[in-house]
Structure 1
Amino acid sequence: MKFSYVNTTVIHFGVGQISALATNVPSDANVLVVYGGGSIKKNGVYEQVVAALSDHRWMEFSGIEANPTKETLDKAIAIAKSECIDFIVAVGGGSVIDGAKYIAAAALHDGDSWDLVTGKYTVETAIPLGAILTLPATGSESNMGAVVTKRSTNEKLGFMSPAVRPAFAVLDPSAMKTLPERQLINGLVDAWVHVCEQYITYPTGNMVQDGYAEVLLKNLLVLGRQFEQQDDAWRENLMWTANQSLNGLIGAGMPQDWATHMIGHELTALWHVDHARSLAIVQPSLLRAQIEAKRAKLEQMGRNVFGLADSPSLAEHTIVAIESFYQGLNVDLVLSEVPGDKSDAIEQIIAKLKQNGYLEMGENKGITLDVTRTILANAL
């Protein structure tokens, strides 16, 4: 093992922790609070934010989408520049937090904001930001990545920089009480695939990362089976498990895949498929296409996560168990947004992947465009 690991985000976990804003946001900061469609004004979160910032100078920007768009975020970037914003507070799920990261970085860039994701601009500085998480899923509240959609060209791309890792994150599980079932299910699936992308590769002997990943997967299995329960402990465990699934720890020094995400992003960009559901559509087919390269880890997952018995077809049974996990949550495994013949849809996705430079994906770079075409033919 050889790696460097650091996570500088301070986590304030538990009911009532939104009040921590008062002391975690600098008292002399000019603050921009960003959020989504307004649900935070119905569940009490907004009122808590207002109370916590009562001694601060702040303004707000709303309307960040479930898949944040460049077009909307550019409006917030203009405000951040014109109002000399020097601290951003993101209130929402991963999409709002991703959007806040994009705003924080692009506000210090003189060129087009899309330069962040095309690589024309390297993000080395950003406006400091904090996050109040209302929907557990992406782990964006304590990592350095963000994904944004350019609506005009149907592109969904991301960037990473330590400069946009939130200074602090408030994780108050009570904020989840009013979330629709669909969003909670999406959170479970998203966290599950995040772990899988860092775990289902090839054996490394890294006991801590493997063991911790397996614990997180088993947590999500139990939370999925207990979905109807949704008591305080259920919410707490989902929020903390989703955070740990993508805070950098289980991926430290490990081979990682992320091809399911790259392909899934195109389904979201082209047909507005929920991000988590795009992953559930792609992943089983991808695993079957890569089963020989991933067989050892699939077998390990079958034994240690699902409790399956050893057999020559253990890897195949593990993929079926993953599908059963999704089906138990009533998550569709086909692209229902595109009826009938999917051949045109497949070629659209392939064209987008080629345009974005995703010619060889996966931990072994073995997922070429031809392999991807096969994956999509079996998945869609």
Structure 2
Amino acid sequence: MSLIHQVALSFIKNVGPVMAKSMLAYAGSAEDVFKIPPSKFLRAPGIGQKTIDQLDLNSALKLAEKEVAFVDKHDIDVIFFNDPRYPKRLKLCNDSPILLYAKGKMDLNTQRVISIVGTRKATDYGRLLCQELVTDLKSYGVTILSGLAYGIDVTAHKECIKQDVQTVGVLGHGLDRLYPASHRGTADKMMANGGLLTEYPSNTIADRENFPARNRIVAGMADATVVVEAGIKGGALITAEIANSYNRDVFAFPGRVGDEYSEGCNFLIRHNKAGLLTCAEDLAYILGWQKQDDQVPVKQNQLMLAMDLTTDERFIMEILGQNAGIAIDDLTIKTGMPMSLLAMNILNLEMQGFIRSMPGKTYAIN
């Protein structure tokens, strides 16, 4: 695969990520995009004559040559769309970038990824919530994403460094600079376990319009987005909206009524755009996570406590133990219990931590 052609695909004027991927799919490779006659792309979805008439492939190749020289000189990794290292969660998003520039030591496809976002003007309370969340999430083996901005973002990154949690800062500019510059020390420390990521090439400044686009990467790379503290307007709520559009989970810490930087979180919760979060355990419960170091003991403890269950509850546990997950309707058939009785028993088992609910009204043993 030619790195220059991969980079050049992102430099074609008037061709965004969606169209670039359409061209890539039609041609078969980045190199072939620049070999086949441009008129052939009229057969590719979403590409019309106007686009063909404006294609300037030679200019894109010249820009790509300079960019490849830059990344080679500064030890920057280029992760193309069909590279196995490309974030698999982000790849599912229609408008995901055709390539990413990365600097550091990172795995973008760890089992659990959470984005933490919030206001740039974080209060002491918001920073404390963020620090406690990161600390408690460590035992679940997560990677934590944010935007390296002032406030909640940098608080999350700093706590990850302290707790030795992999953390990635997604930027709205090229890797030849850092905004804000005052976070250079934090960014340097992130390189050992995480690092910096962007879709923007060198010489791209931190323009205002870049940050909403950046936020789609923050939302798209994660299993869930957590809004710690946010006003009614700002990037955090944009990220939450994007995450919802990707059908990803969104959570928010509630705040006191009337507090400026709790209005955004309360808005999301009130309009059912975010689940209410009070601690990391709430998030883990809803996502069906177990701590990495206590998965076996949990099951052993359940066996020890199972003797305290009723006959009906033990029967439900026995059925769930034979299935990785079972829908409530199937469980009704298998148990033969009236729905009201089954619902009561399921609630009791959930409250005691024996089982967990999952999407689609299905249940499984914890």
> Which category describes the TM-score, using the shorter chain as reference length?
under 0.3
Higher relative contact order (CA 8 A, sep 6+): 1
Which structure: larger Rg?
A: 2
TM-score of the two chains, using structure 2 as the length reference: 0.25
TM-score of the two chains, using structure 1 as the length reference: 0.25
